[in-house]
Structure 1
Amino acid sequence: MNPALKRHAALILAALLAVSAVLLPGRPALAGPLSGTVLSSATATLPSELAPLATGKRISYLSTTVKELPITATGLILTPKTGKNNKIVVWGHGTTGLADQCAPSTSQAVFWPEARAAIAELLRRGWTVAAPDYPGLGTALPHPYLIGGSEARSMIDSAKAARNLDATLGTQYVIDGHSQGGQGALFANEIASAYDGPLVLRGTAAIAPVSNADLFAPLIPGTPAQGYLVMALYGLQAVDPTVVPATILAAPARQKTGVLQSGCLNEILAAYAGLTASQLLVGGALPASVVTKLSHYVNPGQAAPSAPILLVQGTDDEAVPYVITAGPLVTELSAYSQPVQFIQIDGATHDGAVFQSTTTVANWIAGRFA
């Protein structure tokens, strides 16, 4: 057996034995006390922007799938060197790729500059930062890319793991994320009251979050963003085996799928950018059934949030359309009782919105903790 698979199998076996010992008959796994259990911890080498501000631990910890089965996940816990208080902020990173080498906790090449800037400001406020990789990045499982419920569970469980590592941390936490991480943050807000146990979610900040996949996914074929769509198909397959990308992708696109394991985001985008719609997909368009499944798994706003929401969006975003965040997403989230604040950043690109909002977002988080 592959050593990574063998190690993962051993961890899952231990988790399953523990779960079977403590969960009450008929009680769902998400209500169990073990998610967030730290399975391993090692000193992490942090990027130069963060090393003066924090000490880091790379951890593996117990989380759950969208079907409530135990899995292992990985990530970083960053502890401020000065001014530390007892609050936790979870940072949800933007898309890095599908393969294990695309886990930010082990590869500084995909620990994006905008993520470093955002985390640095959080650390300066004295907050411990939990930065999950998301399931399947850094473990032997496939990564359920853009499956919001998967990202959400690993985010909440990373906050639990931070408390398990540091008994001085309190129960209050906020989730802050960008792009894929912004989408995960919104999903986490929807499941927090049922999933986070003793923790108290004070709010979620979502910068350029992915949403309304049914509106924009059909428009992607033939554009430079096609690599995102290919990854999304494989993300769907990770939770729904009836989705078979090999039957959806056209031959020229199928010939490039090796890059999904050999490369990360930039390599994937470059590999697919030049294809026409008919070279990407059989018939040049997404099947309606796939669009429906993307909508179900990818779109936040399908359930009531449990804490206030901050949305930040740049008007010149080249990856997540401004009109989708400012229009449908704001409307969908505002239909519930929790307050939604929307901040528009004129002229900001997808990553630029993070750089230009680090202080604004941190101030909003501070207000939530206050």
Structure 2
Amino acid sequence: MKKHVLTMLISSAFLLTACGSGDGGDSTYVVDDGIPKNNIVNPVVRVESYTDIDSDVNTDLDAVSASKSLMTYKMLGVDGTEVDATTLVFTPKTVAPANGWPIVVWAHGTTGVADKCAPSALGLGQTAELIEELLDEGYVVVAPNYEGLGSAGNHPFLNLKSEAFSITDAVVAARKYLKGQLGKNVSDQWVSIGHSQGGHAVLGAAQYASRAQLNYKGTVAIAPASNLAFILTAGEVKASTLPLAQQIPTLAQLDTYTALIVAGMQGYKSSVTYNEVFKNDTALIAPIAETECASDVADYLGGSMYAYATDPQKGKGSLSGYGRTQSGFMTLPVINTFLQTSSQPGLAKLNQKVFIYQGLADTTVPYQATDILVQSMKANGTSASDIQYTTNAIWDHGTVYTQNYASFVGNIDSLLK
């Protein structure tokens, strides 16, 4: 059962604005659109050479990358102050065009909120294949870890603005480093692409793109997380119809996302306690989300459920008496605000092209949530002509990403023509 839960979460770990120009420089300065502009004078803290822990992946990247770096940079954090964050930066071996290499941001899926869960520490895995294709096309690739991953503090999991500023500020810092310190020819054009949590992040970056004060061109969002209250509620309903062997990993996945949300709030101004969200059985386990990665959190949560359900004196083959989430926890003011606004993309008009991919067989981000997202985007002013929504009955949460590399690169090429 533990292996089954682990497999479920590893597969789901893929999960869970306006346009400006010029170079960025005081984070508190706000212009007409209400978005603070990046006016950080010295955004680059330090730059180190990066080697992926997967030697096979690293060899592939070596063939197409002129440099691979881990950059620590300044960003505007979730509490409104400048904090350090980290990002990977890759440069291509191709000759830069006259107007410079464009920048493509890759936004990763759910890994956890602890430092050791940063993709730069875990390894790039399948992401390396897409990065390789983008480098081969002649793009600089910037791949942020997000606020709090590989840097101080917990990662504010699925906080839209935090993810967005992790992206915009990484683009500004990377461009300044490549142009100013290395003398590379880098364009002011940039786009973003992300999967699951990363799809959520790039929709946030689209909303807050004017912070970078560069030439933002559009985004590709793959199975983007959204409408979290719907996903959690629908997941509960589905789990209630499943046999125990399938019910436990489904509930463990849902509780992992909830635990990561609570863990990501710890140490910040907007926060709740674990006991406010979880009943005792789960509240005792959930804090490991601050120190362990998503798959391990799911193992602990699922393992505890399994132990209870199979105990002849406790569960007697059922989870009916097991303490998971508190009744009505989603109505807690902090959680309700998070679910309805702080985590929700599509509430503001987007002015550039958005490509959205969604698998109808996806059980992590169900297609119904993305349908609601697209409807909301249109209702909030994003032109229907700027949204290209592609679905497929066969794609699940993983294959919607792994089967469409060529399409993604083609979409990015079209944005950067």
Same fold? TM cut 0.5: yes
Q: Which one has the largest radius of gyration?
A: 2
**More displaced stretch, 360-369 vs 298-307:** 298-307
Matched, 1:52 2:71: no
Deviation at 1:35, TM superposition (A): 7.2
1:11-22 aligned at under 5 Å gives the runs: none
Deviation at 1:87, TM superposition (A): 0.5
Matched, 1:38 2:44: yes
The superposition leaves residues 15-46 of structure 1 with CA deviations (integer Å, 9 ceiling, x where unpaired) of xxxxxxx8499758922411781110010003
Residue 161 to residue 139, structure 1, CA distance change in 2 (3 Å): same
Q: Which amino acid aligns with 1:234?
A: A
Match of 2:289 among 260, 272, 278: 260
| Distance in 1, Cα, partners of 2:203 & 2:390 | 16
Deviation at 1:219, TM superposition (A): 3.7
Match of 1:300 among 345, 349, 352: 345
1:218-229 aligned at under 5 Å gives the runs: 218-220=233-235, 223-225=251-253, 226-229=255-258
| Distance in 2, Cα, partners of 1:267 & 1:252 | 17
Deviation at 1:293, TM superposition (A): 2.7
Q: Which residue of 2 aligns with 1:92?
A: 107
SS of equivalent to 2:63: coil
Q: Which residue of 2 aligns with 1:13?
A: none
User: Is the 1:144–1:238 Cα contact (8 Å) retained in structure 2?
Assistant: no
| Distance in 2, Cα, partners of 1:63 & 1:257 | 29
Deviation at 1:345, TM superposition (A): 2.8
| Distance in 2, Cα, partners of 1:202 & 1:218 | 35
Matched, 1:333 2:377: yes
- The structure with higher relative contact order (CA 8 Å, sep 6+) is 2
Deviation at 1:297, TM superposition (A): 1.2
Q: Which amino acid aligns with 1:347?
A: I
**More displaced stretch, 221-230 vs 350-359:** 221-230
Matched, 1:233 2:277: no
| Distance in 1, Cα, partners of 2:27 & 2:80 | 15
Deviation at 1:148, TM superposition (A): 0.8
The superposition leaves residues 103-148 of structure 1 with CA deviations (integer Å, 9 ceiling, x where unpaired) of 112221xx342x2232222122111100000000011211100001
| Distance in 1, Cα, partners of 2:269 & 2:366 | 27
Matched, 1:210 2:225: yes
SS of equivalent to 1:174: strand
| Distance in 2, Cα, partners of 1:295 & 1:43 | 40
Residue 24 to residue 187, structure 1, CA distance change in 2 (3 Å): closer
**More displaced stretch, 327-336 vs 91-100:** 327-336
User: Is the 1:35–1:157 Cα contact (8 Å) retained in structure 2?
Assistant: no
Q: Which amino acid aligns with 1:179?
A: S
Q: Which residue of 1 aligns with 2:200?
A: 183
Q: Which residue of 2 aligns with 1:344?
A: 391
Matched, 1:360 2:407: yes
Q: Which residue of 2 aligns with 1:70?
A: 82
Gaps of 5+ in 2: 1-24, 180-184, 240-250, 306-318
The superposition leaves residues 326-365 of structure 1 with CA deviations (integer Å, 9 ceiling, x where unpaired) of x211111223244100111331121211111111011011
Percent of residue pairs identical: 28
Gaps of 5+ in 1: 1-21
| Distance in 1, Cα, partners of 2:27 & 2:356 | 39
| Distance in 2, Cα, partners of 1:154 & 1:347 | 33
Deviation at 1:257, TM superposition (A): 3.0
Matched, 1:137 2:149: yes
Aligned residue pair count: 342
